Amino acid sequence: MLRKMISVIVTIILTYLYFKVIAQPINQYFFRTDHEGMSLIILFIVYFVIILPVILILVNKFIMK
């Protein structure tokens, strides 16, 4: 039970770091152009297809032993 709670907290923290460190600067760059909506869509697709599965695999591998 405690490991599941820790894994959820770690996943939330890593997700926050992705959006704060990677997604926000990229979106601010594209916000000055005409492609701001497309950049948000691409960042969310990258998050759900690549980043989130990697985070979940790593959390399950190292925390949920």
Domain with 27 in it: 2-62
pLDDT tens by residue, 26-49: 777 777 777 667 777 888 888 899
Token pair of 18, please? 């992705």
Q: CB neighbours of 11 closer than 8 A, spacing ≥ 6?
A: 55, 56, 59
User: 4-32, pLDDT tens digit by residue?
Assistant: 888 889 889 988 998 888 888 877 777 77
Using CA atoms, how far apart are residues 38 and 27, in angstroms rounded to an integer?
A: 10
pTM of the model: 0.70
Domains: count for the chain: 1
Helical ranges in 18-47 per DSSP H = 24-31, 36-46
